[in-house]
Amino acid sequence: MKNIFLVMLIIFSFTTSFAEDDFTNEVVKSTALTQSLFMLEGAGGNITALIGEDGVLLVDDDFAQMADKLVTKLKELGGGVPRYIINTHFHYDHTGGNQVFGKTATIIATTEVRARLMSEQTLWKKQHPAIPVIGFPSLTFDQSLSLHTNNQDIRIVHFAHGHTDGDTVVFFNQGKVVSMGDLYFSGMYPIFHPEHKGRLDGVVKNLKLILNQISSETQIVPGHGPLSNKAELQKYYEMILDSIKTVRQGIKKGLILKQIQNKGINKKWESFSHGYLTTEKWIALIYSDLFPVIISEAS
């Protein structure tokens, strides 16, 4: 039953057109990370909010239909309509609010995210037109950007070719709070999108780079899933490495996908299985990524 619920939840999170979806019962939940930083959970990807005298900064902005509820929550927390918005990547469950808040907020994203939002994209086998012009990011960067507001030196860093080509990670408080976007699905197998130039080896590389920049006290806001920390991210990283190792060994032994799936990966990773990506599908995803490389190495 729980799995069915998860499938529905995740499918709703990843498909649009949302116009026909009913957001009436969705709420925005907040968790305080520091006096001024909050993790917000609505209908789409997780949001990080920095609230202070200089105005509100958001990392990601959910679906457009959640904008009013989001502002109500920000007001409850002492803020108001956002002044700055950072898009961690273009997926519509993270950028829907752009078309509402773009009238007044400066929207910041990588060059890749802006380009994708400005043109038709395919996500989960569905075509999505360009978003309205008002929602286009107005400030773009290629590698990194620093933003100084509300007594914070915020580092906004491009980690390319993990979940998508335009992934951005945001570091607050010298790395004590980090917003990772969909580079991190806490407690779940990772998802990467080859159709948006995401790659498994990019996920591995970028996770390692981030692990090197955070401490045991760091609070991590994942793209989806509950608030997390370095120990959990480390476990996630090890799970990915171990899964890759198992599948690689299977391919090298000449096993076909079904045989590798039947053998499975270490049982201790089973808790990462979720409605959209079961262990069987996770193995298939790794297999499809590794198989062409191993075959070309062997030939």
Interface with Zn ion by CB under 5 A: which residues? 91, 182
The 3-state DSSP class for residue 60 equals coil
In the numeric block, which tokens belong to residue 292? 């062409």
In the complex, what is the shortest distance from the CB of residue 163 to Zn ion, in angstroms, rounded to a whole number?
Answer: 6
Q: Which is nearer to Zn ion, 62 or 182 (CB)?
A: 182
CA dist 142 and 160 (Å) reads: 10
In the numeric block, which tokens belong to residue 131? 């978003």
In the complex, what is the shortest distance from the CB of residue 75 to Zn ion, in angstroms, rounded to a whole number?
Answer: 28
Q: Which is nearer to Zn ion, 91 or 161 (CB)?
A: 91
Note the maximum CA span of the chain. Answer: 62
In the complex, what is the shortest distance from the CB of residue 180 to Zn ion, in angstroms, rounded to a whole number?
Answer: 11
In the complex, what is the shortest distance from the CB of residue 224 to Zn ion, in angstroms, rounded to a whole number?
Answer: 8
CA dist 260 and 30 (Å) reads: 42
In the complex, what is the shortest distance from the CB of residue 235 to Zn ion, in angstroms, rounded to a whole number?
Answer: 21
Among 108, 28, 24, smallest CA distance to 74 is for: 28
C-alpha 223, offset from chain centre: 3
Q: Which is nearer to Zn ion, 41 or 182 (CB)?
A: 182
Buried b (16+ CB within 10 A) or exposed e, 238-259: ebbeebbebbbebbeeebebee
Q: Which is nearer to Zn ion, 178 or 265 (CB)?
A: 178
Question: Exposed, middle or buried, 55 (CB in 10 Å: 0-12/13-18/19+)?
Answer: middle
Q: Which is nearer to Zn ion, 112 or 182 (CB)?
A: 182
In the complex, what is the shortest distance from the CB of residue 182 to Zn ion, in angstroms, rounded to a whole number?
Answer: 4
Q: Which is nearer to Zn ion, 91 or 158 (CB)?
A: 91
Whether the Cβ atoms of residue 136 and residue 118 lie closer than 8 Å to each other? yes
